[in-house]
Structure 1
Amino acid sequence: MTNDYIGKRPALAVALSILLLILIGGAAFFWHLGSIGLIDETEPLFAEASRQMFVTGDWITPFFNGETRFDKPALIYWCQAIAYSILGVNEWAVRLPSALAAFGLMSLLLYTIQWHLARQDDLEQMIRPTRRWLTAALGAAVMALSPEIIVWGRTGVSDMLLVGCMDSALLCFFLGYAQPQKSEVKAPWYMAFYVLIAGAILTKGPVGIVLPGLIIGIFLLYLGNAKEILREMRPLTGLLITLCLSVPWYVLVIWRNGENYINSFFGYHNVERFTSVVNKHSAPWYFYFLVVVLGFAPYSVYLPLAMARLKFWQRSYWRSQERSSQLGLFAFFWFIGIFGFFTIAVTKLPSYVLPLMPAAAILVALLWGDLLKGRKREEDKQASRGIITSAPLLWTGWVNVVFLSALAVALFYVPQLIGIDPAAPDFRQLLQQSGLPAIGGVIWLLCAVLVAGLLIRRRYQPVLIVNVLGFAAFLVFVLTPCLFLMDQQRQLPLRELSAIAVQAQRPSEELVMVGFKKPTVVFYTHRQVNYIKMSSTAAQYIQTKAKKTAQPPSVLVLAQQQKFPEMGLKPTDYENLGKSGAYQLIRVPFKN
C-alpha cells in the first residue's frame, strides 16, 4: 500500500527527499558552521590567503604572511574570497565552500542511487518506489553522517572542494555512461564530467584528473568496452573543455612566478608527496585500513560484505549486464582505485582517502537496498543475484554490535587516553567534567543494544537506520559541544590576544610569535607575524634588533607563558598586555 501511495505521488517522494537533504545536510554541514573559530594550523592558511586575494585584488598568486603560498591551486581561494564579498570576512565564509561541496555531492549521490534503482526496477518489471527512495536516502545519510565527511565538510581547506568536484565528476560519468544509447541527456552528463574535472584540477592539481582517469580506466578495462565508451564521451571535445577551464590560471601563475611555482607545486607538493615522505607524514602500509574503519565508522563494518555481494570476480556476468545495473561495480573500482593509489604513495594523511567515502556509502546503501526488496520467499532471496543470505549478514551484524560497544568503552575512557596539549592544558580535565564522553558512550552503547535486539529477532532492515540515527545523536549531543569546548580552550585565547595586539600595536611595531606557529594570529590581526620557533633564537633576534636604530623602540611578543623565562626575560623586562589561556602578549622595550 505504501509502495502504491508513493509510486502514484512522485512529487511527494521528491519533496521528502529534498526535506531529508535539508535536515541531514543542514545538521552535518551548516549547523554552527561559523560558531567556532578557525582551527590551527591548516585552516587559517587558506583563510588568510583568500583574504589577501579579496583585499589586494590579486586573483593569480596566493600569499600568506607576506610570502607566496603555492601549496594548492586557486579555486579554493577564489571560492572563499567570493564568500567574503557576500558574507564578510568570517569563519562562516571560510567554511562555506567546503559545506556547499559536501551538500552538493550528497544531493547528487542520492539522485544517482535513486536513478540506478529505478532503472533496476524497470529491468525487473517491479514497482518498488519506497525501496529506491529509502535506499537513496540511506546512502546520502551514510555519506553525510560519517566522521571524515563531517570533519572536512566543516573545515575551510581544499580537501572537500576536491572531493565535491572529483566525486561529482565520477557520478556524472556514471550517469552518462548508464543512459540508453540514444538518450538526449547522455552528452550533457559527460560534459558535466569534464567541467567538474576542470574544477578538481583547479583545486588540487594533476590528482584531479589522474584519479578519475585511473578509476574509469580500470572500470572500463574490466568490462572490455573502453573503446566504445571513449567514442561516446567525445574525449577531444571534453579535453578541450577541461583545458580551457583549468589551464589559463596555471599559465598566468607560472608566467608571474616562473620556476618557483613549478618547483614548489608540481615538484614538492605533487611528485615528492607521492615518492617520498613530506613534512614527516609517513605511516605503515595498513594506515588507510585504520582510516577507513574509523573515518567511515560505524558503517565500515559492512564494507567487506557490501563488496563480497557484488561477486566482482565474475567478470563474464558483469559484462553481460545492462550499464545501469553496474553502479555497485563502479563504486567498488572507485573505492579500491583511491585506496590503492594512496596506499602506494609514500606520504600519507587521513584526508587523502576522503574521496572514497562516497563510494563506500554507495556500496553500503546498495547492500541495504537488497534487504528492502521485499521478496516473499527466502529461497528467492538466496537465488537472486547479489541478494545476501542471512548468515553473513548476521555475523556482520554482531561485528557491528562489538564495534559499537568498543566505541562506547573507548569514549568512557577518552579523558584518560588523550594526551595533554600545551596550547590547551586544561582541556582534558574540562572534557571529563563536561560529561560529554559519557554521553557519547551511552549513545553508542544504546545503539549496540538496539542492533543486538534486531539481530536476535532477525530484523535486519532497521539496523543501518539505528547506526545512522546513533551518529546523528552523537553529532548533535557530543561532537558539536566538544568542538565548542576545544575552541574555548585552544583557539579562543589566540583570538582574544590577537584583538588586543591590533589595539595595542604601534605604527611599524613588529609582532613576533615564539614557539609553535599559529597561523590564526595572522588571520585575526590582519597583520604580518614573525614566527620564531626556538626561544633562544627569539631572544637573540630581539637583542640584535635592539642594537639597531628602530622606531618604535619595542616589539610585541606572543607566546606561551613559559617561553619568556626561556628567552631570558624577567617580568621587569616587559610590559604585560594580556593573558588568555596558555598564552601571553607582552611588549618588550629595546634597551640601549
Structure 2
Amino acid sequence: MSKIADYTDQALHSRWLIVAVVVLAFFWQIGAAPLYDLDEGAFTEATREMLASGNFVTPYQDGEPRYDKPVLIYWLQAASAKVLGFSEMALRLPSALAASLWVLALWWFVREKTDEETATVAAIAMALSLEVSLIAKAAVADAVLNLFIALAFFEIYRFWHAPARGPLLRAYLWMGLGFLTKGPVAVFFPVVASFLFFWSEGTLKNWLRAAFSPLGWLVFLLVAGPWYLAIYLDNGPGFFESFFLEHNLGRFGDAMQGHGGFFGYYVIVLPLILLPFTGWFIQVLRGVRESWRLPLERFLWIWFITVFVVFSFSGTKLPHYLLYGITPLFILMARHRMELVNRWLAYTPPVAFFAVLFFLPQILATINGFVDEPHVSVMLANGIGALDIGYNWYLVCGLAAVAAVIRWRKIWPWQSLVLIGIVQVIVVYWLLVPRVLDVMQGPVKEAGLLARELDLPTVAYRTSMPSFSVYRDAVTPDRPPQAGDLVFLRIDKLEGLTERFPELGIETRYRRGPVALVYLKPPAEDD
C-alpha cells in the first residue's frame, strides 16, 4: 500500500471515524426538511397534544385516542421538545440519539466478542447504510425500538456464552423498554430467535431457565407494566383491543393502510436498504454454509433469518420492518470484509443507485404520463422542477467522487464502499431529501402555518395529513365542514367539496402542490 492508502486504512479503523460518520449520517440536516406524513405527522401531533393537554398516559391525535403505538416515543419527543423548543430538530433528536446508542451497542458487543477493528468497521457500515440513516432522522419509534431489540439480542448471546443473572436481567430490561416502545415485536423476535439458537446448540435447558425466570419477568413487568395499567385505568380495554388485536395481529394477517406486498417483497427491499453495501452482503451470503459452523455467526444468521421469514409471511409489509434483523448483517460483513474482492459485485449496486438519482427527473416524467390523480401529478411535476440544473450539477460531482473512489485500486473494496457511503449520505441528505420533502410536505407546512395565523375554525376534508395539525399548533377535528370554516384538503377533493356545498362560496386562501386551504363563506358574507 502507498502512504495515502495506509493512512486511509488507519482512518477507516478509527473510533473517531465512527463519531464523524454518526454526526454526518444521524444529526447533520436533522431539522432541514418538513415532517412527512403519515408517520412523522401522526407521532409528532400526538406528542404536541400530550404537551398541550398534560395527559402523559394516553396519546391523542386530533382529539382522538391514538392506539397505534405505546407511549415511550411520545415521552422522549415531549422531553426533547420541552428542553429545546417544539421543532423538527427537537422531535427527531430522540431517534438520532437512539440510533447513536444502537451503533455504540453494536461496537461494544463486537469488540467484546471479536476485536476492535471489526467492531469499528461494523459500526461505520451500519451508520452509513441507507435505511438506518433514514430512520435515525425520522420522528418515529423505529430507531428507539431497534436499539432495544439489538441490546436484548446482545445480552441473550452473552447469557448463552456464560449463563449469569446479569445478562439475563438486562435482556428482560431491554425487552420491557422495547415493549413500552412498540409492543410485542420487542419480545417476539428475541424469544423465537434465541429458542432456535439454543436448540441448535443443544442448550435448551438454559433457554427454558431463562425464558421462565421469575426475576426476569418481574423486571419486565416493573418496566412495562405501570404504563399499561395506567392506560387501562384511563381508557378501559380500548387500547388493548385496538393495539394488540388490530395493530399487531391485524397487521400480520392483512395489509393495513395499503402497505401490502408479495411474498418476495423483502428479497427486493433488502438490497435497497443495505445500500451502498449490497454487494458486500451478497459476498457474505455466499459463505453462509461455512459461517453457520461458528456459534456467533450462527446466532447472527438465525437473528436475521427469523425476522426475514416472519415478515415475509406478514400481510402488512414496510421496508423498515426488516431493520429488526439487520444489525447482525453488519457484524457478519465486518467479520468477512477481506473476502470481498470482486469489484464488480461491490460497486454495481451503488453505481446503479447514483444512476437512478441522475435520471430521476426523466423517470418522474415518464411516471407522470401514466398518472390520473391530480394531486400526484402536481407533485411529480413539482418534483421534476425541484430536480433542477443545480441538482444535476452537484449529482455529477457526487458521481465523480464515486468514480474516483472506484478507480483507486490501492485500497480494499470494503474500504471503497465506506468512502462511497459517505458520499451517499451527503448526496441523499443535502441534495435529495430536502427537495423531495419540500415538494411533498412543504405545502402542508405552509398551509398549517397560515391556518395558525388566520385562527379560524378549521377542519380537514377527506385528507389525512396530521403534520398540518402540528404546524397549525391545534387539533384539526374530523367533522363535516360548515359555513365559516377553513378547510384543509388535497386538491383532488376540491370538486367534491364544491358539489357538497353549492350554496356556499369557496374562497381559496392557499394552494400549492397537492394541497389547498379554502374558506367556506357564509351566504351573508357574499352579500
Q: The TM-score by the shorter chain falls in which range?
A: 0.7 to 0.9
Report whether the alignment pairs 1:147 with 2:125: no
Q: Give the gaps of 5 or more residues in structure 1.
A: 1-11, 118-131, 319-325, 372-387, 533-540, 547-553
User: Which amino acid counterpart does residue 465 of structure 2 have in structure 1?
Assistant: K
Bigger Rg, which one:
1
Partner of 2:362: 416
Do residues 485 (structure 1) and 432 (structure 2) align?
A: no
Alignment partner, residue 202 of structure 2: 224
The verdict on how the C-alpha distance between 1:441 and 1:301 changes in structure 2, with shifts beyond 3 A counting, is farther
Query: 1:89 corresponds to which residue?
Result: 86
Contact 2:158 / 2:167 at 8 angstroms: preserved in 1? Answer: yes
C-alpha contact 1:307 1:332 (8 A) present in aligned 2: no
Which string of whole-angstrom CA distances, capped at 9 and with x for unpartnered residues, describes residues 534-567 of structure 1?
Answer: xxxxxxx55xx45xxxxxxx11123355654553
CA drift of 1:269 comes to 0.6
Give the structure-1-normalised TM-score: 0.78
Seen in structure 2, the aligned counterparts of structure 1 residues 407 and 37 have a Cα distance that, compared at 3 Å, is: closer
Q: Secondary structure at the match of 1:528?
A: coil
Amino acid at match of 2:350: L
- Structure 2 match to 1:244: 222
- Asked whether 1:339 is paired with 2:308, we answer yes
Instruction: Flag the structure with more relative contact order, 1 or 2, with Cα contacts below 8 A and sequence separation at least 6.
Output: 2
Matched residue, 2:425: 475
Tell me, yes or no, if structure 1 residue 59 matches structure 2 residue 28.
no
2:275, 2:350 within 8 Å by CA — same for their partners in 1? no
Structure 1 Cα separation of the partners of residues 475 and 174 of structure 2: 35
Q: Is contact 1:73-1:204 (8 Å) kept?
A: yes
Helix, strand or coil: the match of 1:424?
helix
* Matched residue type, 2:450: I
Q: 1:436 aligns with which of 391, 402, 412?
A: 391
Structure 1 stretches of 4+ with a deviation exceeding 6 A read 569-572
Contact persistence 1:49–1:62 (CA under 8 A): yes
- Distance of 1:483 and 1:466 partners within structure 2: 24
Q: Within 5 Å, which residues of 2 pair with 1:187-266?
A: 187-228=165-206, 231=209, 235-266=213-244
Q: Tell me if the contact between 1:401 and 1:452 (Cα under 8 Å) persists in the aligned partners.
A: no
Which residue in 1 is equivalent to 2:6?
none
Mapped to 2, the partners of 1:113 and 1:442 lie a distance apart of: 35
Please, which of 518, 521, 524 is the counterpart of residue 586 of structure 1?
518
Which aligned pairs between 1:355-370 and structure 2 lie closer than 5 A?
Answer: 355-368=324-337
Matched ranges for 1:120-519 at <5 A: 132-179=115-162, 187-228=165-206, 231=209, 235-311=213-289, 318=294, 326-368=295-337, 371=338, 393-395=340-342, 397-418=343-364, 419-420=367-368, 421-422=376-377, 424-436=379-391, 439-440=394-395, 443=398, 447=402, 450-451=405-406, 454=409, 462-506=412-456, 509=457, 511-519=458-466
Equivalent position SS for 1:282:
coil
| Pairwise CA distance, 1:233 | 8.3
1:555 paired to 2:493 = no
Q: Identity percentage over the alignment?
A: 26
Is 1:309–1:367's contact at 8 Å kept on the other side of the alignment? no
- Per-residue deviation at 1:478? 4.1
Equivalent pair of 2:383/2:436 in contact (CA under 8 Å): no
- Alignment partner of 1:34: what SS? coil
1:103 is displaced (CA, Å) by 0.5
Q: Give the deviation of 1:490 after TM superposition.
A: 2.5
Shift in alpha-carbon separation, 1:520–1:198, aligned structure 2, 3 A = same
RMSD (CA atoms): 2.9
Distance in 2 between residues matched to 1:431 and 1:31, nearest whole Å: 21
User: CA deviation digits over 1:272-327, x for unaligned, max 9?
Assistant: 1112222222211110011111101221223243244353586xx54xxxxxxx33
Query: Does structure 2 conserve the Cα–Cα contact (< 8 Å) formed by 1:408 and 1:441?
Result: no
Aligned residues: 503
Give, in angstroms, the shift of residue 348 of structure 1.
1.2
**Alpha-carbon distance, 1:62 to partner:** 0.9
Inter-CA distance 448–286: structure 2 relative to 1 (3 Å threshold): farther
The alpha carbon displacement at 1:572 in A equals: 9.6
Q: 1: distance between equivalents of 2:291 and 2:120?
A: 29
Aligned counterparts of 1:512 and 1:232: Cα–Cα separation in 2: 52
Aligned to 2:33: 36
Rounded Cα–Cα distance in structure 1 between residues aligned with 2:393 and 2:315: 38
TM score, norm. by length of structure 2: 0.87
In the alignment, the residues of structure 2 paired with residue 69 and residue 503 of structure 1 have an alpha-carbon distance, to the nearest angstrom, of: 27
User: Could you give the per-residue CA deviations for residues 380-436 of structure 1, whole angstroms, max 9, x where no partner exists?
Assistant: xxxxxxxx5xxxx444x3222333332233222211223453563543323431443
Shift of 1:446: 5.5
**1:254 is matched by which residue type in structure 2?**
Y
CA 1:423–1:68 in structure 2 vs 1: closer, same or farther (change >3 Å)?
farther
State whether residues 109 and 154 of structure 2, in contact with CA within 8 Å, keep that contact through their aligned partners in structure 1.
Answer: yes
